[in-house]
């Protein structure tokens, strides 16, 4: 039986830069750093982001950008603050898709390795209600 999400892994060229992004934008807390050691495929760091284990491993960037993404929950009143944090790091903001009222607000941004992140202030229940499915 699947119990839930175990972890999410991102492969990045620069561990320090990704740490800066995760800690500055997503309030990540670093819980492990392999240093020069490797227990997996390459050097790695582990973070806790709102109770989600996020692993970051050193390697090659994704070859292209896509809409595949990971969305993290933010509080409804944090939109402007989070947007300012993203801009302060010079990250590329991606225009969000059109939204209907009541499904929450989102901020999309790419890291330096073509990963797309979303910060979203809505819930699944709100979206289903808005779509008339729940």
For the chain, list the domains and their CATH numbers.
7-131 (3.10.180.10)
Q: What is the pTM of this model?
A: 0.87
Selecting among 44, 118, 125, 126, the annotated active-site residue is: 44
The mean pLDDT values, 10 residues at a time, for the chain of 134 residues are 93 97 98 87 95 96 94 92 96 75 83 96 81 65
From the list 62, 127, 133, the residue with the least C-alpha distance to 101 is: 127
Residue-level pLDDT at 26 = 97
Residue-level pLDDT at 122 = 82
Residue-level pLDDT at 36 = 83
Residue-level pLDDT at 45 = 97
Instruction: Determine whether 125 is an active site residue.
Output: no
Residue-level pLDDT at 97 = 62
């Amino acid at each position: 039986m699947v119990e839930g999400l175990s972890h999410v892994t991102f492969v990045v060229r620069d561990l320090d830069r990704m740490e800066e992004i995760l800690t500055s934008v997503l309030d990540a807390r670093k819980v492990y750093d392999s240093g020069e050691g490797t227990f997996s495929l390459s050097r790695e760091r582990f973070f806790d982001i709102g109770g989600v284990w996020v692993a970051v491993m050193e390697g090659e960037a994704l070859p292209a950008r896509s809409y595949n993404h990971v969305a993290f929950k933010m509080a409804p009143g944090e939109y402007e603050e989070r947007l300012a944090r993203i801009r302060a790091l010079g990250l590329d903001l991606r225009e969000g898709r059109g939204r209907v009222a009541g499904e929450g607000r989102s901020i999309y941004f790419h890291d330096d390795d073509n990963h797309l992140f979303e910060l979203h202030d809505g819930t699944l229940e709100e979206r289903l209600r808005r779509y008339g499915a729940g």
